[in-house]
Amino acid sequence: KAGVTQTPRYLIKTRGQQVTLSCSPISGHRSVSWYQQTPGQGLQFLFEYFSETQRNKGNFPGRFSGRQFSNSRSEMNVSTLELGDSALYLCASSQSGIQETQYFGPGTRLLVL
């Protein structure tokens, strides 16, 4: 089975711009979660989608949003980028939720200048 894929792998943006990241989960997985990883804060949960619905949300501002499509692929959007949004954004999929094994993608490294 193919693993979780994320595109693009690297991205450079400037402050104020917006960005969309994409995640394709493992076939058959319906839960997709997004995490932000920084050296200072570590891995922090952004949100989880299941069957096209946002089921859980972490403590991030409304500039961070996402969606899930009927084929379970998910996108994450960050609007009005700030320097502090520079991070590795990881997507993880599982069959049905957080308490199962999460399979992570390689991440998208975002640099905001």
Q: Residues in the site for another protein, rule: CB under 8 A? A: 4, 33, 35, 41-45, 48, 55-56, 58, 90, 92, 97-99, 101-107
* Shortest Cβ 108–another protein spacing (Å): 10
Q: 20 or 37, CB closer to another protein?
A: 37
Q: 8 or 16, CB closer to another protein?
A: 8
Q: Sheet of 5-7: strands edge to edge?
A: 5-7, 19-24, 74-78, 64-68
Polymer length of the chain: 113
How far is it, in rounded angstroms, from Cα 31 to Cα 44?
17
* Shortest Cβ 2–another protein spacing (Å): 14
* Shortest Cβ 58–another protein spacing (Å): 6
Q: 15 or 57, CB closer to another protein?
A: 57
How far is it, in rounded angstroms, from Cα 103 to Cα 108?
15
* Shortest Cβ 32–another protein spacing (Å): 13
Q: 37 or 79, CB closer to another protein?
A: 37
How far is it, in rounded angstroms, from Cα 25 to Cα 80?
27
- CA 32, chain centre distance (Å): 8
